[in-house]
Amino acid sequence: MIPHRSTALLTIVVFVTLLLIIFSSSPIPDSSAEPTSGASKYIPHPKLPSLSDLRLPSFRPTVHTPPEPQPNSTSGESKWLSDWSWINPFSSSITLDENRSVLPPLRDRPFIYTYYEPNKGNDQEEDNADAQLLLAWRRAWFAQGFRPVILGSGEAMKNQLYELVQPMNLKPDLENELFRWLAWGHMGDGILADWHCFPMAKYDDALLTYLRRGTDPAIITRFDRIGNAVFAGEKSRINEAIKQAMKNVDDSSVSMVSLIPAEFFKIEDPSALAFYDSAAITSHYPTVAEKIVSSPTAGRLALVELINAHLHNTFQNAFPAGLAVLKPFPEHTTALVEPALRLAKALAECSTSPAPLSCPPNLLKCHPCDADKPMQISQPATYRNTTQVFTIGTLPHPFTLISLQQDSTDVTTRHIRRETERDVWLTEVTKGQLGLEIAGSPRAVVFKRAVGDEAAVGTSLWMTVESLPPQAGQSLPTELLDEFEWQFGFPIPRTGKVDAKNEDDKKESVQQANPSAQGVEKEYEVLKQAREFLKPEKHTRIGITDVAEAWNLADTEVWRFVRAYRARSAVERKKWEEDEKDFIGAKPKA
């Protein structure tokens, strides 16, 4: 008979042996294996810990911080990665960084050039007036997705063909036009436009879309009825056309188009292009024409004012259903959307114009802005996916929204987990499209498309509430309005309460308001306190904001996405502005 102790020992040995057999036969997942489906590639595969992972922190070697994944990919607290995988519910599955958002790759901005040489007889005021017009030209084309660049005689002289042109005795107008082409041929592929020619249509207009895509390298595109205002082509074809023109030039020559063989060109209709040449000004805007004759400086400034008014009016005509300021949970978000409402009111105003009831030269039968019948402003709770309305959306951080809903920042983990639903902002905004049964992940994908998809460009403006004024009645920061103008393409009227520079002691009442029982002042107080909690340097109670983010993963994801998207657009423009800062028209006159 086996002793009792031997039985116990034998049992232990058998148990350990079975465990070893079980674990040795189980395959260890390979974290480096490629996923087999499109969705599974976003699921993280955990790796079994090794002995090195179990070392105490004090024994770990010091390491360098890895470099940024892309240059110019941070701004303040915003971090982003531009990648084609941006249509994904959660950026962290791509970046492995909770705070870095995956954004759509920056859209290629085709170059659009203009040629400017100041008249030798101009005084400083006339040059400043020209600079204002060039600034308007830059801003309008930049808003339409192009990269505007101003050229001069310096670029023309860099063209290898300049030596052949130099000994020629040409008429002044033809010489100036030839220099335009030489400068364009030196720079290369892109569009050459007169600085009096402006894009006057919606962003998705067929002609503007065609120009953004580039042209056939075998031809040069020019446009009917606007003379030599706009051409599009590639470098080799441009310089070949210049050579042909120089072969055909004689004493009777007056323009480049007449010297270049017709087979070089493809003629398009300039439906989206407004050319403010002397003939158009004299025919359609006699008030401006008279000012130009009596005072060149005042006339040019009046022309700038007229063009900006036409750009603004074109925007208003493009959205017949008006402006929509998103306002989910209206009983708690009056303060949250008030800055956006002020912006909408400014966009609905009529810009100052020397010819108030006039239309741009490419669309003489428009609907002029009527101060008695301004654009309609609505405040829907849900987002409408339509091109008939321009949407202004303000996103709150989940902690900010929870605080507003309970009228206090004294939020607890228990309250968040037991008293609040998940991702309520995103659910409320998308319920018109997706209903109420879908989870937050697919809603995040739909919302990201509404913000960053190519089809959505020019139909909406998104921002986070934490970037807006925290006090009741306070107007929008001037710097923020300046940034918005490069998205719209025209100056935003600032005669009212939209701009902090024009603010006085009298606060404007909040129109169309529906504040909570505590009042809009209380909402602003909560917003201000919530902003303090969200500052990275504030370590007190930082855990509660983490709880709010963890409970509302989809809301947090889209909030970070919009914050990064807005920050990247500002970085892109500032980088372009830095490159062009030494050229006339880069900055408005102080």
The per-residue pLDDT for range 530-556, each reduced to its tens digit, is 988 888 765 455 589 999 999 999 999
- The 10s digit of each residue's pLDDT in 291-332 is 999 999 999 999 999 999 999 999 999 999 999 999 999 999
Q: Please give the helix or strand (H or E) that residue 299 lies within, else none.
A: helix 296-318
Asked whether residue 305 is domain-assigned, the answer is: no
Check whether residue 159 and residue 263 sit in a common domain: yes
Q: What's the full length of the chain, in residues?
A: 590
Residue 168: the pLDDT is 83
Q: Please give the helix or strand (H or E) that residue 114 lies within, else none.
A: strand 111-115
Check whether residue 338 and residue 396 sit in a common domain: yes
Check whether residue 401 and residue 505 sit in a common domain: yes
CB-count burial class (<10 Å; 0-12, 13-18, 19+) for 585: buried
Q: How many structural domains compose the chain?
A: 2
Residue 381 has pLDDT above 60, yes or no: yes
| Residue scoring higher pLDDT (139 or 43) | 139
Type of residue found at 116: Y
Residue 22 has pLDDT above 50, yes or no: yes
User: By residue range, what is the domain housing residue 572?
Assistant: 322-348+376-579
Asked whether residue 25 is domain-assigned, the answer is: no
Residue 55: the pLDDT is 44
| Residue scoring higher pLDDT (70 or 223) | 223
pLDDT confidence bin for 492, thresholds 50/70/90: very high
Cβ pair 207, 273 in contact under 8 A: yes
Question: Which segment of 26-40, 134-148, 244-258 scores lowest on mean pLDDT?
Answer: 26-40
Asked whether residue 172 is domain-assigned, the answer is: yes
| Token pair for 588 | 């408005």
Residue 214: the pLDDT is 85
Check whether residue 517 and residue 388 sit in a common domain: yes
Check whether residue 391 and residue 269 sit in a common domain: no
The average pLDDT across 172-185 equals: 92
Cβ pair 268, 221 in contact under 8 A: yes
The terminus-to-terminus CA distance of the chain in angstroms comes to 106
Residue 340 has pLDDT above 70, yes or no: yes
Residue 52 has pLDDT above 60, yes or no: no
Check whether residue 278 and residue 337 sit in a common domain: no
Asked whether residue 83 is domain-assigned, the answer is: no
Check whether residue 390 and residue 519 sit in a common domain: yes
What residues does 79 pair with on adjacent strands? 74, 100
**How many other CB atoms are there within 10 angstroms of residue 14's CB atom?**
10
Half-sphere exposure of 515 (CA within 13 A, CB side): 16
Q: What is the CATH number of the domain that holds 128?
A: 3.90.550
Residue 173: the pLDDT is 87
Check whether residue 237 and residue 339 sit in a common domain: no
- The 10s digit of each residue's pLDDT in 104-154 is 999 999 999 999 988 877 788 988 999 999 999 999 999 999 999 999 999
Q: Nearest 5°: phi and psi at 150?
A: -100, 125
Cβ pair 193, 162 in contact under 8 A: no
Residue 499: the pLDDT is 57
Residue 532: the pLDDT is 87
Q: Where are the alpha helices (DSSP H) in 91-216?
A: 92-95, 124-143, 153-158, 162-165, 172-187, 206-213
Residue 426 has pLDDT above 70, yes or no: yes
Check whether residue 337 and residue 267 sit in a common domain: no
- Cα torsion through 130, 133, 135, 138, rounded to 10: -120
Asked whether residue 472 is domain-assigned, the answer is: yes
Residue 43: the pLDDT is 39
Mean pLDDT computed over every residue of the chain: 85
What distance in Å separates the CA atoms of residue 468 and residue 222, rounded to the nearest whole number?
44
Asked whether residue 192 is domain-assigned, the answer is: yes
| Residue scoring higher pLDDT (513 or 287) | 287
Residue 32: the pLDDT is 44
Check whether residue 250 and residue 388 sit in a common domain: no
Check whether residue 549 and residue 426 sit in a common domain: yes
- The 10s digit of each residue's pLDDT in 382-418 is 999 899 999 999 999 999 999 999 999 999 999 999 9
> Cβ contacts of residue 521 below 8 Å, gap of 6+?
472
> Can you spell out the DSSP letters for 139-161?
HHHHHTT-EEEEE-HHHHHHSTT
pLDDT confidence bin for 251, thresholds 50/70/90: confident
Asked whether residue 239 is domain-assigned, the answer is: yes
Residue 71: the pLDDT is 74
Residue 197 has pLDDT above 90, yes or no: yes
Asked whether residue 121 is domain-assigned, the answer is: yes
Residue 495: the pLDDT is 73
| Residue scoring higher pLDDT (241 or 542) | 241
Binning the chain into helix, strand and coil, the percentages to the nearest 5 are: 45, 10, 45
Residue 54 has pLDDT above 70, yes or no: no
Sign of CA dihedral 227, 228, 234, 235: positive
The average pLDDT across 88-106 equals: 91
| Residue scoring higher pLDDT (11 or 105) | 105
Type of residue found at 17: T
Query: Tokens 């580039």, residue?
Result: 214
The average pLDDT across 40-66 equals: 46
Last residue of a domain, one of 286, 304, 337: 286
| Residue scoring higher pLDDT (52 or 545) | 545
Residue 489 has pLDDT above 90, yes or no: yes
Check whether residue 514 and residue 574 sit in a common domain: yes
Residue 372 has pLDDT above 70, yes or no: yes
